[in-house]
Every structure is written in C-alpha cells, then in structure tokens.
Amino acid sequence: MLKVKILVMSDFLDANNEELLKDYFSEAELMVDNLESNILAIENDPANHDAIDEIFRAAHTLKGNSATVEFTEISTFAHKMEDLLDEVRSDRVQVTEDVVDTLLNSLDIIKAMLEARQNGSVYAESVEEISNKIKSFIPEKAGKGKNSSPAPKTVSAPVQSVPAVSDSASKTVDMSEFELLELKQSCQPGQKLWSISVVFDENNPMNSVGGIQVFAALKACGTVLKTVPDFEALYEDEFHKDVVYYVASSNSQEQLEDVAFLDDVTLSVDAQCLENAVAKESSEQPEQKEEKTAQVQTVAETPKQEEAKVSAEQKTESAPVQPAKTAPAAKAAPASGHAQQSSILRVDSKRIDTLMNLVSETVITKASFNQSAQQQSDMLVQFQTLDSAFREKIRKMFEQLPQYLEEIQNGVPVKDIRNNIMQEYGEIPDYFASFEAKFKDLNTKFHSATQNLGRIAGELQEGVMKIRMVPISQIFDRFPRVVRDLQKDLGKKVNLQIEGEETELDKTVIDDLMDPIMHCVRNSVDHGIESPEKRKALGKSETGTVLLKAANEGNMIIIDIVDDGNGIDAEKVRKKAVEKGLIHPNKVLSEQEAANLIFLPGFSTADKITNVSGRGVGLDVVKTMIDKLNGTVNVTTEKGRGSKFSIRLPLTLAIIQGLLVRVGREVYSIPIASVIESHRIKRGEINTIDNYEVLNVRNEVISVLRLSRLFNIRNTEDGEYCFVVIVGTQDKKIGIMVDALIGEEDVVIKPLRDQFTQSPGIAGASILGDGSVSLIIDVSQLLELGVRQEIEARSEYGAIE
C-alpha cells in the first residue's frame, strides 16, 4: 500500500509530465516578460513602487513554480535574484544603472536556463560571477548573528510534570505500529527514518504551493515516504499551515532542517529521528499511550517547540536558503523536462462565449434545415400523388373526347358539352394550386434559413479569427530592452516610443514577425540615429527618437518603424550597390528605388563590421520573411530628417479574399491584397520588346506573364479579347494574362505537400464551393520571375548595343 502511495506522489512531480511542463513554460515566459518590462520601468522611474512590487511577485512566482517542477537551478538562481529585489523593495538598495544591468543580465541567464530545459538539458555554465555581483549590492544585516535573534514569543507555561513532546512526535504516536514498521522497511541501508514537521507562512503570496516546494527540496536529500496531510491534499490549491514529512535519509538533523526551511515560505522546521520510535511504541502499555496522548494535548507549548520556533525565527531574519545543498541533486539528475513547444493562446472568455452563442444558433439553424428537408420529403410524396391523379384525369379526358365529338355530330349543343367537360374536368387547372402555395412557403423558409446560416457562418469565421488574434504588444514589449542594449553598445541616446500596441494580429503572423521588426529597429538605431555629438552639431536633440507604430487598414495591418536620424543617402546606396555588383553602373534609379536597394541580399553601407551591422545580413531577410507572409515592405526617407520602414501584412494567413480567374479549364485565386487593377483588352494591344510581352497602361510599360505558358495549360481561349490582372506594389508591377475573371471570394488556404511544394508561383490551394480545387498564386514569386525576365532582357539589349 505504501509503495503505491509513493508512486502517486511522484507522478505529480514527474519531470516528464508534459501537461505540467507546458503550463510551467507558458507561465514562466509570461513571468520573464513581466520582469523585463517592469525592470525597464523602474530604471526610468525608480520611485514606481507598483512596478517594484510586481517584479518581486513575478520573481517569487517563478521561483516557486520552478521548485514545483524540480528545476532547482532556476529556483535557486531566482531566489538569489529575489534577495536583491527584496532589498530594492525595502528601499535598502537604490535603483541605479548597475543594479538594472545586473537584474537584466540575471534575467538573461534565467532565459537561457529555461531554453536549456525546453531542449531537454540543464544549464551547465557557471553563474558564480553574476551571483557575486548580486551579493555585492545586498548590504550586511546587523541581525545576522545567532545571538541577535528577536526575543521568543510569549507562550503559556508548560506543565512541569509532563515531559516535552513535540508536535511531530504526537503525530507519530497517532500512527499505527504497522505503518511505522512499513515506513522503516522502506529505508535503504544507511538511511534513517525522519519526521520533519514544518509550519508554513500564511502571508506568503504562494502559500498554497509551499507544501510542494518543501517536498521538492526534501526529495534532493532522501526519499519522501509519506506526508500528513496526504500529498494529494498538498497539491490542491489550499493552504496547509502544518505539514509533517516522513523522509528516509542519511543526512543529519541540521542538514534536513536547513533544506526544508525556505525563506518567506516556512516559519519553523523541526526534524525528529524515528529510529527508535517503533521499539518505544511496542514497549509502552495501552494505558501509558492514552495517558501520554492526553498529556500532550494539555501542553500549551513545550520547551522543545519554543526552542524550534526561536531557531526558525533566527533563520527567517538572517539566514538565506543555502542553494549549494540542493544544487548537487540538480546536477546528478538526468537531463529532463523536455516539453515540446506548442503555440498556446490566451483567449478572453467573452470570445469563447460568443462562439458558444453562435454554435447554439447553428444548432437551431440545423433544426430548421432538418425541418425543411422533412417538408420537402412530404411535398415530394404529395407531388407524386397529385401527378398520378393529374395524369389519370388527363387520360380519362382524352378517352372522352371521341364521345364528345360524336354527341356534337348528333346535334347536342356545344354549350351543354362544354358544361359537361367543365363539370368533369374543371378542377384540372387548379390541381397543383395548394402544392404551389406550400412550395412557395417552403422556398421562403429555405431562403431565410440559408441567409441565417450565411450570417452565422460569417460571424463564426470572424469569431474564430478573433480567437487566433493576439495583440502585437507581445512583440512590441520586447523592444525597450533591445533599444536600451543597442544604445549602450553604440554610445547613443535613443527614446523608443510605441503606439498601437493593442492592434491585433493572427498568432501565426506574430510568430514570424519578430525578426523582421528586429532588423528594422536595429537598422534605425545603428544607421539612422546619429551620435549625441553629431545631433547636437546639427541642432537636434541629443536623444534620438524611434517610433514603433501599428494600425489597422481594412484587412491589412500597417507597421511603421520611424526614426528622426540622418535618413538614407540615396547616392551612397547607389554607389555601394554598383561597387558590390548588385546593379549596372548605367542604370538610372529614382531616389525611392535607390533607397529600396538596401533590401538586396548582401547589401550594407556600414564602413566596418560590428556586433550590430556590417555583414550584409539583415534587411534582405526582412523582405524575404515579409514576402512569405504575403506582405510588403518599403522604406521612405528624407536626408537629414529620418527614415520610415513600412510593413503591410494581412491580418490572417488562414482565410484571404481572392480574385478567381480562369485559364483554360483551370481556376486560380489571386490574393486581392496584391491586385492593383484589371483590364479587358484586345490581344493586339500586347506588344513585344526583345521577345518579352508588355502592355502600355497609361504610358507605363507593364511586363505581361501568361499563366497558360507558365503552368503549361492547353486549350486556352484564342478570342479577340483577354484579361490582364496587374499585381504587385506601386513600384514593382507585373501583368498576369488570363482568359476570364470569375469574381471575388473568401479563400481558405490549404498548404501544398510533397512534390507540389516546389511548384513556382504557387502559394497553396483552396477548395471552391463546387468541390473543385483552385491553386493560389504566389504574387511575390511571379514578381521575381518578371524582374528576372526584365533583367535578362536589359542585359541582352546592352550586349547588342
């Protein structure tokens, strides 16, 4: 029975518990971000006590959570960081640049520790240097000596005739002889059975997990065999003031008490060896046991307990947790804690409630369609019955016609025959009148249900998209630290301003947007913002400004990175591009085109290589990644005034608006965001220059690409007219020739797999309403193809000249 209990306890702290670790890493990431943003906040405003308290709470939570999952290197280091934060919170340490640097460097180490754990390993680098740096800021306390402990609390005088019995001993007496023997048998050779009684601090913000923290600490120096209350109760979100741990360990009493005592978590710890408890238990008479138990209950406070509490108060006032005693266990433990990273979304419950309401409406609409389907079945039966009766009437009427003709020949008045026919078959014209009325009513209900379903589907789509939407502040909040480090490395003064951080974007886009914005911000700080001396000489403020701004524009999001630096020297950029062989020396470029040369691979205007720039890797990566997100990036600049990087992205990559076009029998989708305009032209309007087809649109020459040739589609139409869809941006366009325009439609993007992933010009596929598959055009690849054709044509033309 005891072995089963031990297994159950271990399961809760199993390092391979994927669900527990996923929650831990998600929470740890939030805590680290919270720490970093608030540390930067107190650097600018040292008197911001709310931020200081938030920093301390985050560090304390991170320490407690790490101890819970047995990441002792993180919890130990976080505890050291917490000591410094406690001094800052108590105004014993002033917030200086050195303190902030130390806290941020400590946070970087915690990030590295978390990353190592996520990768299935343990952080192995030494943290002694940063630990000593932390300790150097902490002033020596006057009350660190053992003799300077506060006076013990006043307690009721113990009954002199009663021997001192600890609370842990009383709980041991309550156990049966069989349970004690079973615990003793679980000890390994060289181990003793210990009862460790712990009193927890209710004022601790994380008091509900204190029992788990001590359990994790004691596991490092022995085997926890049993707890009172049971371990399952400790794991519930409930505070337990007194907990007794039964541990098999070879450590001494002092060592066990030191390990179990956690600063700010426990008030007192008392370890008692139960080596002879079983023998004493068996030798006592039942009457003596009852008398002893009664005596214990009458004691208000024994000298032993008083001594333990005084000792605990000494530790609380002076002695920090000694991490060296738990560190060896962390080193000896195998690399564990590998939790596969998965995207975790934190969603407002109101959005879930909206979806639930829509689902309930969908169920109602479904019932409406079921009812319509049943009515249609009933009406089909009614129609078949009416049709049979109608046919029978018509058959009888035609059989009666010869008789009517004969009666007319015999002199029967026509009027009488007409009356007979109307009397017999007059209901035929109105035979389907009732059916028609019911069918019209059903048709009206069906159309109403269809419209309702369309509305619900639209709102459901919007609701699901909103669940995937997260604020871009998840990215923007990381840049104050980035800019701070950059300005220190470059010797500049930079003020970062952030606007529109509440703007929401699809989670899949957010995950891939960090690097492009990072490169743009680094470029603005390094190349854009001048040194304080130069800015002062130019009549500017010594502190430069970088604005990070996000805003919605229809189904697009616009991200601007603006600086008030020296701008981009278009002539210098052009010369550098010619020098690197990126453009032809005779090529004529506008100032805007020259500025956009910085997005070419391998381009850099830096005069020397530094940690920040000069290697020609950066802005070309920005363009490549933004293109993959179906977005665009461009730069505008004014020499001496500054530059602006503008990134345009679709709000979501899952569903886009597409323009459906037909080429032969195939249907393709072109993202509406990339469509500039479309033209219906005569085929004769397409001209040829150096074997490349072009179209003159308002005196602007546009290269034309035939999809039928690119995708080898036969049986295309050879009529007099065709359509050209112009796609791209204002400074880079290409015309796509198609046979027909079908219309706009919401397109659900499905990725292509296997051999189709290498198809040029194809971004994915979608299933249309009729079940057919429509390939989605990758406009960026078509633009590259068109530019490549233009370059080849110009090179050939230059060679001819």
Residue 557's CATH number: 3.30.565.10
Question: Is residue 788 domain-shared with residue 676, that is, in the same domain?
Answer: yes
Question: Is residue 458 domain-shared with residue 478, that is, in the same domain?
Answer: no
Within a domain: 328: no
SS3 for 241?
Answer: coil
Question: Is residue 462 domain-shared with residue 476, that is, in the same domain?
Answer: no
24 in Cβ contact with 65 (< 8 Å): yes
360: domain CATH number is 1.10.287
Percent of the chain with pLDDT over 90: 6
User: How does residue 547 score in pLDDT terms, banded at 50, 70 and 90?
Assistant: very high
676: domain CATH number is 2.40.50.180
Question: CA dist 695 to 414, 670, 698, 720, Å?
Answer: 77, 20, 10, 16
Q: pLDDT tens for residues 266-323? A: 888 998 888 655 444 444 444 444 443 333 333 333 333 444 333 334 333 333 333 3
- According to DSSP, the residues that pair with 495 across neighbouring strands are 545
d(CA 179, CA 185): 10
- Domain range for 259 is 167-318
Question: Is residue 556 domain-shared with residue 422, that is, in the same domain?
Answer: no
Within a domain: 599: yes
658 in Cβ contact with 766 (< 8 Å): yes
256-261 contacts at long range (C-beta below 8 A, 24 or more positions apart):
256/194, 256/196, 256/218, 256/221, 256/222, 257/196, 258/322, 258/325, 259/217, 259/218, 259/220, 259/221, 259/325, 259/326, 260/196, 260/198, 260/214, 260/217, 260/218, 261/312, 261/315, 261/319, 261/321
d(CA 194, CA 204): 26
Question: Is residue 609 domain-shared with residue 642, that is, in the same domain?
Answer: yes
Question: Is residue 414 domain-shared with residue 488, that is, in the same domain?
Answer: no
157-172 residues labelled b (16+ CB within 10 A) or e (exposed): ebeeeeeebbbbbbeb
Give the total number of structural domains in the chain: 5
pLDDT at 140: 67
Q: What are phi and psi of 684, to 5 degrees?
A: -70, -15
Question: Is residue 75 domain-shared with residue 182, that is, in the same domain?
Answer: no
pLDDT at 191: 87
DSSP state of 334: P
Q: pLDDT tens for residues 224-250? A: 888 888 877 777 777 888 899 888 888
Average pLDDT over residues 663-682: 88
d(CA 214, CA 102): 29
Within a domain: 247: yes
Question: Is residue 599 domain-shared with residue 520, that is, in the same domain?
Answer: yes
> Of 444, 469, 494, which closes a domain?
469
Q: Is 348 exposed, middle or buried (0-12, 13-18, 19+ CB in 10 A)?
A: exposed
Within a domain: 72: yes
> Of 650, 669, 690, which closes a domain?
650
Within a domain: 152: no
pLDDT at 549: 93
> Of 650, 671, 702, which closes a domain?
650
Within a domain: 785: yes
Question: Is residue 453 domain-shared with residue 479, that is, in the same domain?
Answer: no
Q: Is the pLDDT of residue 663 over 60?
A: yes
Question: Is residue 778 domain-shared with residue 727, that is, in the same domain?
Answer: yes
Within a domain: 60: yes
Question: Is residue 645 domain-shared with residue 683, that is, in the same domain?
Answer: no
Question: Is residue 448 domain-shared with residue 476, that is, in the same domain?
Answer: no
Within a domain: 528: yes
14: domain CATH number is 1.20.120.160
284: domain CATH number is 3.30.70.1110
User: How does residue 753 score in pLDDT terms, banded at 50, 70 and 90?
Assistant: low
Question: CA dist 574 to 520, 523, 591, 593, 632, Å?
Answer: 20, 18, 9, 9, 22
* Total length of the chain: 801
Q: pLDDT tens for residues 336-364? A: 333 344 456 777 788 888 888 888 888 98
